[in-house]
Amino acid sequence: MPYPTDFRYTKEHEWIKADGKNATIGITVYAQESLGDIVFVELPKVGSEITAGKTFGTVESVKAVSDLYAPASGTVTEINGELATAPEKINKDAHSAWMLKVTLKNPSELNSLLSAADYEKFIAEEGGH
Amino acid sequence: MPAVEATTPTIRKTALNAVHRRMGAKMVEFNGWDMPVEYPSAGGIIAEHNAVRSGVGIFDVSHMGDIRLAGSDALAAVQHISMNDASRLAIGQAQYSALLYPQGSFVDDVIVHRLGEDDYLLVINAGTREKDFNWVRDNTRQFHCKVENLSDDFTQIAIQGPKGVNLLQKLTDADLSAVKFYWVTRGTVCGLKNILIARTGYTAEDGFEIYVPAEEATSAMVWNKVLEAGKELGVVPCGLGARNTLRLEGKLPLYGHEISDTINVWEAGLDRFCKMEKSEFIGRDALEKAKAGGLQRTLVGLEMVERGIARDGYKVLDESGREIGYVTSGSFAPFLKKNIALAYVPTQFSAVGSTVKVEIRGQGVRAQVVPTPFYKRPKKA
């Protein structure tokens, strides 16, 4: 099972891991596989607000440009600066190559996101057709 | 519901479709064709791209179309419909050329191969197959020359990269060292007799394109033998993703991007393939007028100076933010490891070193005009 059970997932293929109000956000292994070689990541500035369901940045592979969607609302406290020069880290290990750390506005927002089991079911259906 | 089915365009497949799927290729729709965009098993676009730059990669390019013109007036017909000078071709030689509209813009770009005394093969783009064939047929009626659409007859496999010659030589009795770039020969390939072998490609590397019968089992046999023979050379299967980044680094135009029915030969910078001094050809008069009128815009190479990737269709801005042009193709360049693009801009912005901006998600991101092609293959010692 490549999808950690202590993460929550969006249907847009972001993951979020929360510890109280502090959360870490990235994209899933499935997302990086679909995108292919990732060559560019654009992230919001520290201190900016992200809103659940709204875009917070962009990830680009050689072929495609994709928006990043916030799994929950909050304030950005840290961004993974390494991804500016080494975006391929996401391809290598998407679940540890995090993008943002945020202070959540309302941690209960995570209850509406997918569990690892539900997400795996979701991508099996999405990839199956 | 037959009524609905009748209006749904069927997606076309090459004879190697099942092979690509079996190899786990990521498939996409391209100009109505179901084609591999990359092979994750080969490492994906960047690995495929760099394999072609340093070793060898193979591509299924059977979606390309083929038109044969044969008969006593074949040369005159080819001269009438294309801009390069086909009279300079020896038997077995090929040239890059284009079919033009009377206004001097592009029907398509083509490779013209002279296969025999009065026998020419035009290799054309996938998305323009029907349009091109109709155009060629309708504009050569006055000549004694048979025009045949052979597009569905061939599986076309491109074997590209500096080691392509070593790979293909293992599978053919033809002496490939005697075939120069943009020349063709025939030989036995993988046991199949009289196969057309052209030293051509769309990767800005040395390489070959072979034309084998478009029968599924035969096509699969050849594909697999090429992969097998190339194993020790590190061959990888490549998809359209790498094909696009390879041709972009080499500034090879793509129909619908750098060339189209609204762009003329001078704007596209393809002057050296357009022979105004040869006899009359469709588009010539308009090109003469266009030349006299002076060039308004031109195709330039851009390299991003600030962070960002220019993509097809993005606006090009001047320093003040005014829109001056547009990007025709743009990507991360896997071999050069830079973000590059081709764009149409007014001539006053076209000098190497000029600074412009590309609008990326509402922001003007700085780019510089650089010499093209971005990549040129090293000359052999």
Residues B73, B41 within the same domain = no
Q: What is the CATH classification number for the domain harbouring A52?
A: 2.40.50.100
From the list B296, B271, B276, B280, the residue with the least C-alpha distance to B288 is B276
Question: Which residues, 6+ apart, have CB-to-CB distance to B340 below 8 Å?
Answer: B248, B249, B301, B302, B303, B304, B310, B330, B331, B333, B370, B374
**Confidence band (pLDDT; 50, 70, 90) for A128?**
low
Give CA–CA dist B313/B331, Å, rounded.
12
Tell me which of B245, B304, B309, B359 to substitute to probe the interface with A (most A C-beta atoms closer than 10 Å): B309
Amino acid at B61: V
If asked whether residues B162 and B239 sit together in one domain, one would say yes
CA angle B239, B241, B246 (to 5 degrees): 100
Q: Is A36–B311 a contact, with Cβ atoms under 8 angstroms apart?
A: no
Residue in B40, B241, B361 closest to A63 by CB: B241
Q: Is residue B269 part of a domain?
A: no
Per DSSP, which regions of chain B are E strands? 26-30, 33-38, 57-60, 65-70, 94-100, 106-116, 119-124, 146-149, 154-160, 184-189, 192-198, 207-213, 236-238, 297-304, 315-317, 323-333, 338-346, 355-360, 363-370
Q: What is the CATH number of the domain that holds B220?
A: 3.30.1360.120
Whole-model pTM: value is 0.95
Residue B255 lies inside a defined structural domain of this protein:
no
Name which of A36, A60, A65 is nearest B38 (Cβ-Cβ). Answer: A36
Residue B278 inside a domain? The answer is no
Q: Are residues B53 and B173 in the same domain?
A: yes
Residue B97 within any structural domain of the chain:
yes
**In the predicted model, is pLDDT for residue B355 greater than 70?**
yes
Are residues B131 and B161 located together in one domain of the fold? Answer: no
For residue A37, the chain B residues in CB contact (below 8 A) are: 44-46, 334
Same domain, B56 and B69: no
> Is residue B163 domain-resident?
yes
Whether B309 and A40 lie within 8 Å, measured CB to CB: yes
Chain A residues within 8 A (CB-CB) of chain B?
Answer: 33, 36-37, 39-40, 42, 58, 60-63, 65, 84
Q: What percent of chain B has pLDDT over 90?
A: 96
In this structure, are B159 and B57 located in the same domain?
Answer: yes
Is residue B256 in a domain? no
B132: which residues sit within 8 A by CB, 6+ positions away? Answer: B65, B67, B99, B107, B108, B110, B122, B124, B125
Q: Are residues B54 and B160 both part of a single domain?
A: yes
pLDDT tens digits for B22-66?
999 999 999 999 999 999 999 999 999 999 999 999 999 999 999
Last residue of a domain, one of B128, B149, B170: B149
Please tell me the distance from the alpha carbon of residue B76 to that of residue B96, in angstroms, as a whole number: 17
Q: Is the pLDDT of residue B1 over 90?
A: no
Residues B140, B67: Cα–Cα separation, whole Å = 12
Query: Could you check whether the bond before residue B334 is cis, i.e. omega within 30 degrees of 0?
Result: no
* CA dist., res. A32 & res. A91, Å (int): 6
Burial of B221 (0-12, 13-18, 19+ CB in 10 A): middle
Say if CB A66 and CB A42 are below 8 A apart.
no
Contact B84/A at CB under 8 A: no
| pLDDT tens, position by position, B68-104 | 999 999 999 999 999 999 999 999 999 999 999 999 9
Could you tell me which of B69, B96, B272, B129 has the C-alpha nearest to residue B199? B96
Q: What ipTM describes this predicted complex?
A: 0.92
**Residue A98 clears pLDDT 90, i.e. is over it:** yes
- Residue type present at position B380: K
Structure tokens at B249: 């680094």
- Portion of chain A with pLDDT greater than 90, in percent: 95
Q: What is the mean pLDDT of residues B209-223?
A: 98
Structural domains counted in chain B:
3
Task: With respect to residue A67, please indicate whether it lies within any of the assigned structural domains.
Answer: yes
Q: Print the domain residue range for B303.
A: 296-370
What distance in Å separates the CA atoms of residue A129 and residue B24, rounded to the nearest whole number? 15
Interface test with A, best of B35, B45, B340 (most A CBs within 10 A): B45
The residue out of B101, B127, B149 marking a domain boundary is B149
Mean pLDDT of all residues in A7-17: 97
Please report whether residue B290 resides in a domain: no
Domain count, chain A: 1
The two structure tokens encoding residue A11: 């249907």
What backbone torsions phi and psi does residue B3 show, to the nearest 5 degrees? -60, -40
Q: How high is the mean pLDDT of chain A?
A: 95
Distances (CA, A) of B37 to B21, B26, B77: 11, 6, 36
Is A122 part of any domain? no
CB atoms within 10 A of CB A11: 13
In which band, very low, low, confident or very high, does the pLDDT at B10 lie, cut at 50, 70 and 90?
Answer: confident
Residues of A in contact with B241 (CB under 8 A): 36, 62-63
* Domain co-membership, B136 together with B220: no
Neighbours of B333 (CB within 10 A): 22
Burial class (CB in 10 A: 0-12, 13-18, 19+), B366: middle
Chain A contact present for B239, CB below 8 A: no
* pLDDT, chain B, mean: 96
Looking at the predicted structure, is the pLDDT value of residue B2 above 70?
Answer: no
* Dist. CA B21–CA A109, nearest whole Å: 40
For position B304, which CATH number holds?
2.40.30.110
CATH number of the domain encompassing residue B144: 3.30.70.1400
* Same-domain check for residues B53 and B178: yes
Q: Judge if B56 and B159 occupy the same domain.
A: yes
Domain that holds residue A89: 8-106
Residue A40 domain-assigned (yes or no): yes
Chain A residues with beta carbon closer than 8 angstroms to that of B339: 40
Average pLDDT over residues A107-127: 94
**B183 within some domain:** yes
DSSP class of residue B259 equals B
- In this structure, the strands spanning B207-213 and B192-198 are antiparallel
Rounded Cα distance between A128 and A126, Å, is 6
Q: Are residues B43 and B70 in the same domain?
A: no
Question: Are the beta carbons of B313 and B326 closer than 8 angstroms?
Answer: yes
Whether residues B145 and B70 fall in one domain: yes
Q: Give the integer Cα–Cα distance in Å for B134 and B144.
A: 17
